[in-house]
Structure 1
């Protein structure tokens, strides 16, 4: 029989490795169970007919619950600005939707560029950590995991972030679980993108067909307006002695209506063509010439005057007459202002106002224009999607493409457009246009 110390040593040699192996096996099983549970829950969400945004938020919720973390965000790449934009953010420290960071900086930027996930156990000791978000939120990031959201082809479309594990630090086991969640989330976003592309392609085909039919239907209207104008002139000439001022007033009103019908019929054709071009990603060449903003807005108001009157909405303007003549495509600017004003009118109750006002910024050789309404305002999810192909429409049957067309019109002029909106108070679009085109 071995002496006691030798016996203890032999037992340790025999049983310690076996116990360690057993514990490692248990940990692997536990990790696998967590991975399967996360995959099951995200997969179930896919079959709940959720919108892409709801699906993304549900994936974030599952991720935080599974790894017991405080906050999570999904950032999507915007190739036009080369930024990562916070699309969704949940948890203790939420980042406002629309907040953007350069896609070539920080931890998220590195993950997006390389396509390789990163586990950070001490964020403030990592030189890549972008502390500006913490400062903005009054929040401290202790640890984090950032994973790329990838298309099926392998290209990154954004970043999936999880911050601050409640008990301990985020580690490689948590990364394995989040890899599954992020992969399914990316697939869902990609599926939504492909569906949207297919939907827009179908819209383009339908709009093209509608445009052709509208053009044919408008021709009799244009000819009829000309005939009506001639008849009215003849009628007034023959009845001037009998009707006096009344006949002249009637003729004036009819002339205004005819002028509006003629202008509207032409612009309807142009507008339908622009919608078709927008969803196809095409654009006809701009025709730049000297034009006055006051005349363009005046034409818009003349076209929409009767519609606004029926709604009980006032169309106002201020500071436009004093603006300098600019070099621009008058037809495109008409379309841009028409869209903004026309969209605003139904958003207001009787007594509301739409005001277009402007000022010259002479040192910068540009003019500043504002389209303000006193309507119901927009929620963040609508406002943040404006000017993009993913625009959300609140109108029944609406495509939401109006503001995307506006953005395209402003871009053609090397201008800029932004929006401010407060629920219950109204919306203001801010437009900057150069006086002379570069």
Structure 2
């Protein structure tokens, strides 16, 4: 029986024009290869026309009308199919965590893996991200860089890995693409090269989406800034006319007191609605530009504001067949910007209802907190029984970096919520479990003088 050759590092060139020099490509072979087994004879080499077909298929995803999230998942699926991998993932770098986050995952237990993060110094993914060099790993358990944490968490065994960097247009590292466990045989250098090409296509998709989002927000900011200025001018005209009509109201009150009461109520409604239109426009403009919103504080009962917003959103809940449950404790008057609090509460409720399937439930709780040091806080919790979201998504929302996953969405609703909370010197947090729902918690200090 023929003896097997000892494990070596690969030095042969890759059939990929943008691949690193051969000596830079990591190939980790098993310590023991079965006798008579030749790694280079595992598969018939992929013919040129097959490689071109795979590249065309991946590139075609850049121009589809589907949303960005699905587009990237399809590119990942093309990569998996091209090398016959059981599963695959795209991990993107999250600067605030200095970690790689599983953003797009295809394969068994993908929901469990999505959102999980790895420190940039952890595992083979971290090694490839730090070095920028692709790596073929045929015996992960004996690779000193391999981290078993993911396998343990998923009760899964990784037998082989392809890991390639995802680079931006300027060469900056965006993340890594990783394919696991070839269904037949083991991964080859040719598989590594093909995965590298598809990772370059994924990088284009990522950067195109980011550039498009930046351009969209810049255009929105410019448009909303102009609209806010225009609306402010029109608001001043309306308010000016209302002031001009005041003397005539006094005359009407003398001649027709019943009509005076009705007109006074109508004028008050017009005045309030006009101011709200302007503030709504300014609120959206601030959210787009990332500017802070100034609170106009007056004494208000927080619990009463929440109850009014619950009443306002009941028709939407009925339409969606979502049950609204509330536990609202009375709260003392506090210095609040009623307009901002109303927008914050309404957006939280609206998002929760939209995230909840028919037959589900949204719970709202209002309470007064005492931190034990004499400081009182207004507490609000909004929970839903929706699909939940991965941890990276929660962080993006809380930090004001979220964009909507819906076509044409901007994620402005969550930015408006955040701006309203910050304007009251409050803070918020959230917990979410995919498949089990999400809970947002808001705490606003009861300011002195209220």
What TM-score does the superposition give when structure 1 sets the normalisation length?
0.70
Change in CA separation of 1:410 and 1:33 when aligned onto 2, cut-off 3 Å:
farther
Q: How many residues align?
A: 398
Q: CA deviation at 1:74?
A: 1.4
1:156 corresponds to: 173
5 Å matches for 1:373-384?
A: 377=386
Are 1:339 and 2:347 counterparts?
yes
Q: CA deviation at 1:179?
A: 0.3
Alpha-carbon separation, structure 2, partners of 1:135 and 1:258: 67
Q: Which runs of 5+ in 1 are unaligned?
A: 1-22
1:295 corresponds to: 301
2:91 corresponds to: 75
Q: CA deviation at 1:194?
A: 0.9
Alpha-carbon separation, structure 2, partners of 1:402 and 1:410: 13
Change in CA separation of 1:112 and 1:315 when aligned onto 2, cut-off 3 Å:
same
Alpha-carbon separation, structure 2, partners of 1:227 and 1:419: 53
Are 1:362 and 2:371 counterparts?
yes
2:135 corresponds to: 118
1:206-256 deviations in Å (ceiling 9; x for gaps): 21222222223333444566678887788678777xx7xxx99x76x974x
Alignment counterpart, residue 401 of structure 1, candidates 407, 412, 417: 412
Change in CA separation of 1:320 and 1:269 when aligned onto 2, cut-off 3 Å:
farther
2:152 corresponds to: 135
Alignment counterpart, residue 403 of structure 2, candidates 390, 405, 412: 390
What TM-score does the superposition give when structure 2 sets the normalisation length?
0.69
Alpha-carbon separation, structure 1, partners of 2:324 and 2:240: 30
Alignment counterpart, residue 57 of structure 2, candidates 41, 44, 56: 41
Greater CA radius of gyration, 1 or 2? 1
Q: Give me the CA root mean square deviation.
A: 4.8
1:263-312 deviations in Å (ceiling 9; x for gaps): 453343233223223323x31375697x77x6356446658866767987
Q: Secondary structure at the match of 2:301?
A: helix
Are 1:283 and 2:291 counterparts?
yes
Change in CA separation of 1:147 and 1:229 when aligned onto 2, cut-off 3 Å:
farther
Is the contact made by 1:71 and 1:93 (CA closer than 8 Å) also made in structure 2?
A: no
Alpha-carbon separation, structure 1, partners of 2:250 and 2:318: 32
Q: Which runs of 5+ in 2 are unaligned?
A: 1-38
1:5 corresponds to: none
1:9 corresponds to: none
1:65 corresponds to: 81
2:210 corresponds to: 193
Is the contact made by 2:88 and 2:107 (CA closer than 8 Å) also made in structure 1?
A: yes
Are 1:183 and 2:200 counterparts?
yes
Change in CA separation of 1:156 and 1:213 when aligned onto 2, cut-off 3 Å:
same
1:211 corresponds to: 228
Q: CA deviation at 1:148?
A: 2.0
1:136-156 deviations in Å (ceiling 9; x for gaps): 322222222222221101112
Change in CA separation of 1:49 and 1:331 when aligned onto 2, cut-off 3 Å:
closer
Alignment counterpart, residue 173 of structure 1, candidates 190, 202, 206: 190
Q: Secondary structure at the match of 2:209?
A: helix
Q: CA deviation at 1:369?
A: 1.7
Is the contact made by 1:122 and 1:143 (CA closer than 8 Å) also made in structure 2?
A: yes
Q: CA deviation at 1:262?
A: 4.1
Change in CA separation of 1:361 and 1:41 when aligned onto 2, cut-off 3 Å:
farther
Are 1:321 and 2:330 counterparts?
yes
Q: Secondary structure at the match of 1:266?
A: helix
Alignment counterpart, residue 274 of structure 2, candidates 265, 276, 280: 265
Alpha-carbon separation, structure 2, partners of 1:100 and 1:66: 26
1:332-351 deviations in Å (ceiling 9; x for gaps): 545422433466688999xx
Q: Indicate the structure with greater helix content.
A: 1
Alpha-carbon separation, structure 2, partners of 1:172 and 1:101: 26
Q: Secondary structure at the match of 1:187?
A: helix
Q: Secondary structure at the match of 1:271?
A: helix
1:6 corresponds to: none
Alpha-carbon separation, structure 1, partners of 2:316 and 2:104: 40
With a CA cutoff of 8 Å and minimum separation of 6, indicate the structure with the bigger relative contact order: 2
Is the contact made by 1:355 and 1:373 (CA closer than 8 Å) also made in structure 2?
A: no
Alpha-carbon separation, structure 2, partners of 1:226 and 1:208: 27
Alpha-carbon separation, structure 2, partners of 1:369 and 1:407: 14
